[in-house]
């Protein structure tokens, strides 16, 4: 039986810092968030229209969500 372990952003950043990869913390957190959004998108795949998806992505892009 597998046990899921969840960590918040601070815990992840602290753990990465301990491993001497502090500069990678932001990149890792971004990747985790993208993976989470992808999973949610896949789960909603059958329930959201293409127009609604396009609207959400366009709004995020306009608000700078995808910029680094």
pLDDT score at 22 = 60
Rounded to an integer, what distance in angstroms lies between the CA atom of residue 54 and that of residue 48? 10
Which residues have a Cβ under 8 Å from the Cβ of 12 and sit 6 or more positions away?
25, 28, 29, 32
| Whole-number pLDDT of residue 1 | 47
User: How much is the pTM?
Assistant: 0.41
Distances from the Cα of 56 to the Cα of 3, 7, 38, 67, 68, angstroms: 33, 27, 13, 16, 19
Q: Which position has the higher pLDDT, 57 or 45?
A: 57
Read off the tokens for 34.
């993208």
pLDDT for 21 equals: 65
Each residue's pLDDT tens digit, 13-47: 777 777 776 667 777 778 888 888 888 877 776 67
């Amino acid at each position: 039986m597998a046990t899921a372990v969840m960590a918040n952003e601070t815990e992840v950043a602290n753990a990465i810092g301990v491993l001497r990869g502090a500069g990678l913390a932001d990149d890792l957190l971004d990747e985790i968030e993208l993976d989470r959004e992808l999973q949610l998108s896949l789960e909603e795949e059958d329930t959201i229209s293409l127009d609604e998806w396009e609207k959400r992505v366009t709004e995020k892009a306009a608000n700078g969500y995808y910029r680094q």
